[in-house]
Amino acid sequence: KASAVERRWTLNDFDIGMPLGRGKFGHVYLAREKRSNHIVALKVLFKSQLKQSQVEHQLRREVEIQSHLRHLNILRLYGYFYDQTRVYLILEYAAKGEVYKELQKCKYFSERRTATYISSLAQALIYLHGKHVIHRDIKPENLLIGIQGELKIADFGWSVHTFNRRRTMCGTLDYLPPEMVESVEHDASVDIWSLGILCYEFLYGAPPFEAKEHSDTYRRIVKVDLKYPLKPIVSPGAKDLISQMLVKDSSQRLPLHKLLEHPWIVQNADPAG
Ligand SMILES: COc1ccc(C(=O)Nc2ccccc2)cc1NC(=O)CCSc1ncnc(N)c1Br
């Protein structure tokens, strides 16, 4: 509802429930909007921390763009408000929680579950690229699961500035494609690379270029030192798809719409998403 963004929300509009998680910039709580009884996730960001990390303008830009995004596989940002010390983001609540916790629990996902998630993400990325938005942080930590089991891209530390954020954020390097590791300009095809890393991690339980030292991970990425373990057993179709996404030359990576037609996706993804 477009009105959701224009309305002036205050903390008094919500009953605050249990903590859902702790992000880099603040905590997330389950909350219920009093008038509608609508359940949401309320993210609380401290202004002091935003200022310190110089991300206020990035947050403003994100909130502006996200209020126009509508896609089943993209977590909604309904609106925001602030008080003296904090900024509050009113987010869609993903009732089945975090993908990375699910992956830790299962160790790795089935081919059907992986294909369904990768297909949903590809559709969300096609939608975003259509709106000239690239470089989402699509690693397991930023993915949530909705009430119907559908996957939702939930972190929005994205856009070209993310690169600096990621470097300063010292998050995992595992998802960086060669052109970013080698600091050359990048385009939407970085998301295809990250999706290939994610597909591998869903199937094997760890990203393909993982190494103890950052320098080793860098080396393995730029070399595209891709190896498939013997266990768990993964079908040739899945390996074929991953090998078409983890290609050093970004122009040779499988385009997202071709991914949706790949036999392994067609045979394994649940169309309901
Ligand atoms: C549209 O989702 C967002 C949009 C924006 C930002 C954000 O912080 N941007 C930002 C913050 C500081 C500086 C620059 C950008 C974050 C999220 N999303 C999240 O933080 C996910 C919160 S955890 C969670 N959420 C729902 N259901 C659950 N079960 C859980 Br667990």
Please, which pLDDT band fits residue 261 given cuts at 50, 70 and 90? very high
Amino acid found at 228: Y
Nearest CA to ligand 1 atom 11: 59
Ligand 1 closest atom vs CA 25: 12
Residue-wise pLDDT tens digits, 145-201:
999 999 999 875 443 333 333 343 346 788 888 887 776 666 778 889 999 999 999
Average pLDDT on 214-224 reads: 97
Q: Find the 154 Cα to ligand 1 centroid distance in Å.
A: 6
Q: Which of 13, 15, 137, 225 is catalytic?
A: 137
Residue-wise pLDDT tens digits, 188-209:
788 899 999 999 999 999 999 9
Q: Find the 105 Cα to ligand 1 centroid distance in Å.
A: 22
What residue has token string 């940002």?
77
Q: Is the CB of 29 under 6 A from ligand 1?
A: no
Q: Find the 128 Cα to ligand 1 centroid distance in Å.
A: 17
Name the more confident of 60 and 246.
246
Task: Name the 3-class secondary structure at 39.
Answer: strand
Least confident of 85-89, 137-141, 243-247: 137-141
Note the pLDDT of residue 57.
87
Name the more confident of 104 and 56.
104
Nearest CA to ligand 1 atom 17: 155
| Catalytic-residue membership of 137 | yes
Q: Which two tokens stand for residue 5?
A: 């963004």
Fill in the DSSP letter of residue 197: H
Paired strand residues for 29: 19, 42
Q: Is the CB of 143 under 6 A from ligand 1?
A: no
User: Is-contact 256 129, C-beta < 8 A?
Assistant: yes
Q: Find the 161 Cα to ligand 1 centroid distance in Å.
A: 17
Q: Is the CB of 264 under 6 A from ligand 1?
A: no
User: Is-contact 100 60, C-beta < 8 A?
Assistant: no
- 45 Cβ contact partners less than 8 Å away, ≥ 6 residues apart: 25, 26, 59, 86, 87, 88, 89
| Residue among 29, 66, 135, 156 to mutate when testing ligand 1 (max atoms within 8 A of CB) | 156
Model pTM score: 0.89
Paired strand residues for 28: 21, 43
Task: Name the 3-class secondary structure at 173.
Answer: coil
Paired strand residues for 22: 27
Nearest CA to ligand 1 atom 2: 154
Q: Is the CB of 77 under 6 A from ligand 1?
A: yes
Q: Is the CB of 90 under 6 A from ligand 1?
A: no
Note the pLDDT of residue 160.
33
Q: Is the CB of 156 under 6 A from ligand 1?
A: yes
Q: Is the CB of 91 under 6 A from ligand 1?
A: yes
Residue 40 has pLDDT above 90, yes or no: yes
